[in-house]
Chains A and B, each alone.
Chain A
Amino acid sequence: MPPFFFYLLTLATFAVIYGVLVIGLNIHWGYTGILDFMYIAFVAVGGYVTAQLGLPPAQPAFGETYVLGFNWSFFPALLGGGLAAVLLALVAGLLSLHRLRNDYFSIVTVAISLILWTVAGNATPLVNGWDGITGVPQPLADVLNLDPNGYGLFYLGLCSVILILVYLFAQRLYSSPFGRALRSVREDEIVAQGLGKNVFTLRLRAFVIGAFIAGIGGGLLVTYVDAFNPSAWTSPETFFLWAALLLGGSANNRGAMLGALLVPVLFAEATRFLPNFYSPEFVNASRYIVVGILLILTVRFRPQGLIAERRLRIPKRKLLPLAASIASPGSVAPDRTEPNAVSSLLSLERTSSESEELHNGR
């Protein structure tokens, strides 16, 4: 098969893996409004742990050191990667999620991410330092025995299946009562709290769920690229994913996937064809410049993203009895409302232009 096919296959695989990653970030920011700037650290932890669980024990004689090396098969290793990211999210979230205002929280997350990055690079015994990990075992490669193109197709299929599962899960989450509660936290924490929601637990759960998806995506990514070192997860990488989510459409998973296709794959790849006339870093740098411009333009001119969150308009005649039922707790709410919807409803009354959907169209 021609090399061009292989190139397309590579792009498609990256788009699918980034789709998984951006959906995870969407649960943090789009669903819950958590300003998470350490997202890439979850991806990295997931990647490192997946790779290390699958690798044989380290052989320092060959100049490679890492802590795990359990020879696990792919799926348990991937699960382990996801769970490791969950553990990190629990630690970070329990520490700081309930104490800090959102913008300070984001500073703490970048700080945590940078500390982990410094440790990963300098404490060589952990994850082989700046050289990173290579030779990550490819799932089922020995059983299938395919040529590179065939195996590439197989891996694309595998990632696609996982993307579909993650997408279905995230959609389900969005329209569940839990998802509604998350959105009420996003719209107005104080109102959500006033209606008896435990804002901290809700945010922590969303943080953990998003981190699990990040870990899984990280496992897929590292397995695919086969080598991983700290230069692959610097802080700007987090902002790549942020740009993808904001451009595609926060709180909309189809938007998130579109963003994953546009930003890291199409835009980033397009810059590859720029003439490398000035300095060796010109292409790589221009990629981030484009991302920075995209980020600013999106927030300025299309803050809802390309595919906006689907918000159902609630007709006034339905809204009024509902508001009345909230005002007088004794009265019976219309049977189509659910208790959890109340919190979203109240927050929508504050910003009347933004309606929140009351009923999911499942």
Chain B
Amino acid sequence: MLQTLLLSLGFGLITASVLAIAAVGITLQFGVTNYLNLAYGDLLTFGVYIAFVANQRFGLNIWLGLLAAILLTSLLAWLINLLILRPFTDRGTSRVIMLVVTVGVSLILQNVLLALFGEQFQKYAVDTGTPLHLGPFLFTPLQLGILGLAVGTMLAIHFLLRSTRLGKAMRAVSDSPDLARISGINTRQIVNVVWLIVGGLAGLSGVVLALNVVTFTPTLGFGFIFVIFAAMVVGGIGSPYGAMLGALVVGIATEVSAVFLPSEYKTAIALVILILVLLLRPQGIFALRRHA
């Protein structure tokens, strides 16, 4: 029993890594644009299939596929904002209607992928390597790679937010777009750059998610978006550091739940966490100071 618990704790760490990258991305976007984006999960799926094409159709190494996924998803997110979302936000569309618009984007993205790739399960050609014992845990080199990518991404985001002009401007826009604008920050440009970063993070997290769950279909991201929301909400909406902690909580909770419940309910556990936190503690479990 203890053995299975420890093992699932290890899986939880990996799931948390995937989740942390994704949750930081959506938190940055929500902080700056101030509307929830249901199409985010499908951006992840888009990245998944970019890497799939690179890996399986062109025979490239999965890490090259990952790079392609990051770049192209980044571009796609930027384009979606430019062509679809910005015309709405420029007119001052309410965030409720923006949510409906992102539902439309989600339907389009998900079904374009479905039309192109079909609903059969796909997988990458990748060598997971022989599992290694690290203390009580058992990790494949691939899983360690995912863990390393997540830690690297978190450090990069931390550096970006704390030590660069861009990151400071992002935090300023997130706090108050109006104040940022009169302080001379080009908010429109910041929003554009944020979409590039968000797309990149979506592509990255999508591919590592697919590596982690091994097989995937075009609905992968839409199923995962609510787990991402759960991580974001647990950490306190709009707080990137909270999102990292939230990812840890939700990632471990979902994997450990699989010890006690059929694994089909993993996502449902995340959904229950999402609902409970929104109802009981909407500021997030950690409730970091908003103006960090």
A-to-B contact residues, CB < 8 Å: 33, 35, 37, 95-96, 99-100, 102-104, 106-108, 110-112, 114-115, 118-119, 121-122, 235-236, 239, 242-243, 246, 278-282, 284-289, 291-296, 299-300, 303
Minimum CB–CB distance for A15 against chain B, Å: 21
B104 near A292 with CB under 8 A, answer: yes
Bitwise, B271-282 to A at CB < 8 A (1) or not (0) is: 110110011001
Q: Tell me the interface secondary structure of chain A in the complex.
A: helix
B107 near A100 with CB under 8 A, answer: no
CA distance A282 to B112 in the complex (A): 9
Minimum CB–CB distance for B232 against chain A, Å: 10
Rank and list the top 6 A-B pairs by shortest CB-CB distance, nearest first: A292-B107, A295-B104, A292-B108, A285-B115, A285-B111, A285-B114
Residues in B whose Cβ lies below 8 Å from that of A33: 96
Bitwise, B103-133 to A at CB < 8 A (1) or not (0) is: 1111110111011111100000000000000
Residues in A whose Cβ lies below 8 Å from that of B115: 278-279, 281-282, 285-286, 289
- Whether A122 touches B110, Cβ cut-off 8 Å, given contacts A96-B278, A111-B226, is no
Minimum CB distance partner of A303 in chain B:
B97
- Total A-B residue pairs with C-beta atoms closer than 8 Å? 130
A236 near B107 with CB under 8 A, answer: yes
- Whether A291 touches B107, Cβ cut-off 8 Å, given contacts A103-B36, A118-B268, is yes
Q: Which of B93, B99, B271 contacts A111 (CB 8 A)?
A: B271
- Whether A122 touches B111, Cβ cut-off 8 Å, given contacts A115-B268, A279-B117, is no
Q: Which residues 53-111 of B have a CB within 8 angstroms of A?
A: 84, 87-88, 93, 95-97, 99-101, 103-108, 110-111
Minimum CB distance partner of B237 in chain A:
A104
7 contacts between A and B (CB under 8 A): A107-B36, A108-B279, A111-B271, A118-B265, A242-B103, A286-B111, A299-B100
A107-B229, A242-B103 known; 10 new pairs, CB 8 Å cut-off, are A96-B279, A107-B36, A115-B271, A239-B104, A239-B107, A279-B116, A293-B104, A296-B101, A296-B108, A300-B87
CA distance A35 to B262 in the complex (A): 32
Q: Tell me the interface secondary structure of chain B in the complex.
A: helix
B104 near A296 with CB under 8 A, answer: yes
B-to-A contact residues, CB < 8 Å: 35-36, 84, 87-88, 93, 95-97, 99-101, 103-108, 110-112, 114-119, 222, 226, 229, 262, 264-265, 267-268, 271-272, 274-275, 278-279, 282
B99 near A106 with CB under 8 A, answer: yes
Residues in B whose Cβ lies below 8 Å from that of A115: 268, 271-272
CA distance A280 to B114 in the complex (A): 10
